[in-house]
């Protein structure tokens, strides 16, 4: 029979009653609107003050001169960028700790309260379908409930497990990034230290020379006013002085900036003065003697980029294979809860509930081949990317070695230039001529020498940085992680010991060039007095070239003189020199032709001997000197 019930009764409604909840909500939303509220200037001022205090708090004061090892230790301990990397690693480990809790079952506790504006009466009907005439209710108007329990899902557990493993690999990636940051920091400190040391050595001299230039410019102004020289001369002189001032000022700016950059790297306050201590830059050159093949293997094992790539591959493998396969499998979940209710009409006001559920998305099963294909493509792409990075690392090692070799040659050229500029300045200083032109040349020579010294100093800084670049390209850690907690003195000592050990294994001091000794022998084609003249001229050239003449030398220079083709007062002379080793092999052969005036005097014989000696000396110097870097060879 159709269901019917007595007519419902409703309380009278008014417009105000219906709009009251909406008006209350409108008031609440209006009160919660957000407007821009700038931070007060007082808080900005306070923050800036506290930030400065925090930046340099808990730092050991600088006492005495700073060495390279001390600078590196201070940078590792106090550099702000590096400290940020360490905080990132701590944050990653914290994320992993949070993810481990996701592996546990979900335990929930809930409580609730409901209140109706009227009783929840209702009509029922019996088995015969008749609706009862008297309404009834089985729930109070106000009821409180509580529920506690836990639920566990196999699918959620699997996904959380793999997600935790990904976060663990991500934490290892941040560790590799910290290692890379430390290696970059050490490289930057090494270059900045030597540039700052060059500035410390040369900036005072540049200041004195600039004052001298100012005095000369003022003097030129007076000379121009008194018309002691022509206006063209004095204006040209002043313009030359200004050019020198500009060049020195540019160099001084570059060097002064390097001092500030170095202070920032080791986190010194900007207004703190410091002094660096380093060995003289005029030291013996060092040759790289390490084996590149050994460095290649170390780099492939230790470079942070390659290690990071390995962890990225594992993360991608979990994402593309394990987690996607896990999502395809059936999901099984188990729930258990304990419930209470304050409803007095319930026969049982508290009860326990348990349930289990299994569900599977059958459509996803058809995506399994596509998942496998995508995983295989991902694996191939990861392998190609890793191989590309490995090739780049090997290239970086060779670039670093080549750079060191080329910069060593460049520094030698700078040293030769300094010697020539010194001789030029000494010659001008000893000159007896005094005048504006001489003064200008003298001050130009001083400026040129100082500029050359600056160039040589920066070249040496680049050379030292090239040593660090080789170290950096290998990717070795100077210090194990646990040693970084040591105090600054212990950290400095350990750094110095490890760096010196590594450099001693891969670099050796370049031995000074030593030309071999030579003994002289002669063919019997000229008179003894001619041979004596030739011998004296050869001995004089060999002395300048630092070649010893010894009768027991392994190298023997045989000279043979031949005169032919008489032409009036002119004859043709030929002198041949053959340098043989102890095995009688000719290693250098020289032939010199000359037109001689008859009668041939001692000066002509000496000139022929000098020509042979010069060519033999050049040949020996070419054979023993350090060859040019491979990148600079033409053959």
The residues, any chain, with a CB within 8 Å of residue 170's CB and separated by 6 or more, are 92, 95, 96, 311, 315
CB atoms near residue 608 (< 10 Å): 25
Residue 525 has pLDDT above 50, yes or no: yes
Tell me, yes or no, whether 600 and 573 share the same domain.
yes
| Mean pLDDT on 360-365 | 70
pLDDT of residue 15: 47
Q: How far apart are the C-alpha atoms of 597 and 604, rounded to whole Å?
A: 8
Is there a domain that residue 5 lies in?
no
Residue 52 has pLDDT above 50, yes or no: yes
| Mean pLDDT on 309-320 | 76
For residue 558, the domain's CATH number is 3.30.160.150
Domain that holds residue 499: 169-301+388-509
Tell me, yes or no, whether 297 and 397 share the same domain.
yes
Least confident window among 64-78, 208-222, 225-239, 455-469: 225-239
Strand blocks (E) in 490-554:
507-509, 518-522
pLDDT of residue 215: 81
Residue 13 has pLDDT above 50, yes or no: no
> How many Cα atoms within 13 Å fall on the side-chain side of residue 349?
10
CB-based contact 108:148 (threshold 8 Å) = yes
Tell me, yes or no, whether 413 and 547 share the same domain.
no
For residue 213, the domain's CATH number is 1.20.1600.10
Q: How far apart are the C-alpha atoms of 187 and 467, rounded to whole Å?
A: 9
Tell me, yes or no, whether 295 and 426 share the same domain.
yes
pLDDT of residue 1: 45
Is there a domain that residue 486 lies in?
yes
Residue 458 has pLDDT above 80, yes or no: yes
Is there a domain that residue 343 lies in?
no
Is there a domain that residue 589 lies in?
yes
- Which one of 481, 509, 537 terminates a domain? 509
Percentages helix, strand, coil for the chain (3-state, rounded to 5) are 60, 15, 25
Tell me, yes or no, whether 427 and 291 share the same domain.
yes
Tell me, yes or no, whether 478 and 602 share the same domain.
no
Tell me, yes or no, whether 505 and 531 share the same domain.
no
pLDDT band of 193, cuts 50, 70, 90: very high
Measured in degrees and rounded to the nearest 5, phi and psi for residue 344 equal: -75, -10
Query: pLDDT (tens digit, 9 = 90+) per residue, 60-117?
Result: 778 888 888 888 888 887 776 666 665 665 666 666 566 566 666 777 788 888 888 8
Is there a domain that residue 88 lies in?
no
Query: pLDDT (tens digit, 9 = 90+) per residue, 576-601?
Result: 888 888 888 888 887 877 777 777 77
Average pLDDT of the residues of the chain: 77
- Which one of 458, 487, 509 terminates a domain? 509
Distances in whole angstroms, Cα of residue 464 to Cα of each of 186, 189, 194, 400: 12, 11, 8, 12
Residue 263 has pLDDT above 80, yes or no: yes
Is there a domain that residue 82 lies in?
no
Is there a domain that residue 326 lies in?
no
Least confident window among 241-250, 387-396, 520-529: 520-529
pLDDT of residue 34: 67
Tell me, yes or no, whether 278 and 426 share the same domain.
yes
Max mean pLDDT among 18-32, 74-88, 175-189 falls in 175-189
- Which one of 476, 509, 542 terminates a domain? 509
Tell me, yes or no, whether 286 and 408 share the same domain.
yes
Q: Number of folded domains in the chain?
A: 2
Residue 198 has pLDDT above 80, yes or no: yes
Q: Which residue has the higher pLDDT, 5 or 103?
A: 103
Query: In the block, which residue shows the tokens 């490289």?
Result: 187
Tell me, yes or no, whether 418 and 293 share the same domain.
yes
Is there a domain that residue 371 lies in?
no
Which residue from 380, 127, 415 is spatially nearest to 280, judged by alpha carbons? 415
Tell me, yes or no, whether 177 and 238 share the same domain.
yes
Tell me, yes or no, whether 491 and 564 share the same domain.
no
Run of H or E residues at 40: none
């Amino acid at each position: 029979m159709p269901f019917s019930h007595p007519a419902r009764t409703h309380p009278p409604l008014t417009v105000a009653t219906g709009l009251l909840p909406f008006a209350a909500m409108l008031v609440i939303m209006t009160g919660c609107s957000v407007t821009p509220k700038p931070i007060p200037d007082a808080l900005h001022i306070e923050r800036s003050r506290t930030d400065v205090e925090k930046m340099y708090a808990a730092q050991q004061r600088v006492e005495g001169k700073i060495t390279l090892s001390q600078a590196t230790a201070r940078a590792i301990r106090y550099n702000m960028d590096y400290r940020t990397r360490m905080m990132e690693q701590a944050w990653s480990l914290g994320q992993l700790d949070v993810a481990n809790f996701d592996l546990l079952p979900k335990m929930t506790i809930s409580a609730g309260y409901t209140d109706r504006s009227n009783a929840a009466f209702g009509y029922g009907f019996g088995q015969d379908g008749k609706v009862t005439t008297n309404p009834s209710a089985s729930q109070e108007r106000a009821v409180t409930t509580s529920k506690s329990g836990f639920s566990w899902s196999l699918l959620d557990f699997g996904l959380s497990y793999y997600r935790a493993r990904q976060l663990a690999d991500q934490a290892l990636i941040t560790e590799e990034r910290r290692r890379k940051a430390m290696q970059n920091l050490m490289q930057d400190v090494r270059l900045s230290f030597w540039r700052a040391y060059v500035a410390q050595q040369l900036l005072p001299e540049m200041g004195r020379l600039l004052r001298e230039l100012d005095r000369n410019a003022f003097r030129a102004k007076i000379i121009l006013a008194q018309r002691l020289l022509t206006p063209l001369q004095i204006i040209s002189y002043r313009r030359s002085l200004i050019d020198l001032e500009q060049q020195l000022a540019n160099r001084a700016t570059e060097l002064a900036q390097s001092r500030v950059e170095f202070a920032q790297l080791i986190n010194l306050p900007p207004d703190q003065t410091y002094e660096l201590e380093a060995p003289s830059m005029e030291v013996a050159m060092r040759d790289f003697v390490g084996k590149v093949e050994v460095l290649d293997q170390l780099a492939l094992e230790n470079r942070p980029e390659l290690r990071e790539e390995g962890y990225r591959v594992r993360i991608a493998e979990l994402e593309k294979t394990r987690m996607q396969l896990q999502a395809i499998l059936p999901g099984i979940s188990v729930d258990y809860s304990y419930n209470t209710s304050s409803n007095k009409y319930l026969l049982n006001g508290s009860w326990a509930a348990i349930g289990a559920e299994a569900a599977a998305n059958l459509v996803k099963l058809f995506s399994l081949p596509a998942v496998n294909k995508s995983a295989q493509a991902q694996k191939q792409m990861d392998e190609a990317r890793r191989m590309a990075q490995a090739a780049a690392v090997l290239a970086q090692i060779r670039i670093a070695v080549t750079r060191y070799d080329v910069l060593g040659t460049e520094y030698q050229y700078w040293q030769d230039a300094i010697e020539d500029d010194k001789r030029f300045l000494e010659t001008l200083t000893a000159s007896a001529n005094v005048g504006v032109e001489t003064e200008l040349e003298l001050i130009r020579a001083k400026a040129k020498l100082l500029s050359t010294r600056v160039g040589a100093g920066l070249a040496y800084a680049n050379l030292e940085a090239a040593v660090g670049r080789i170290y950096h390209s290998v990717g070795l850690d100077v210090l194990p992680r646990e040693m970084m907690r040591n105090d600054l003195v212990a950290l400095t000592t350990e750094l110095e010991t490890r760096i010196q050990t590594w450099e001693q294994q891969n670099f050796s001091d370049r031995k000074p060039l030593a030309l071999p000794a030579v003994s002289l022998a002669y063919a019997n084609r000229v008179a003894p007095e001619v041979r004596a003249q030739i011998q004296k001229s050869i001995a004089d050239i060999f002395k300048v070239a630092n070649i010893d003449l010894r009768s027991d030398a392994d190298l023997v220079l045989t000279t043979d003189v031949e005169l032919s083709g008489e032409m009036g007062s002119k004859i043709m002379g030929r002198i041949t020199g053959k340098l043989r080793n102890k095995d009688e092999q000719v290693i250098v052969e020289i032939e010199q032709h000359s037109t001689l005036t008859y009668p041939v005097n001692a000066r002509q014989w000496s000139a022929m001997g000098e020509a042979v000696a010069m060519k033999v000396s050049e040949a020996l110097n070419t054979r023993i000197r350090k060859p040019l870097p491979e990148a600079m060879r033409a053959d």
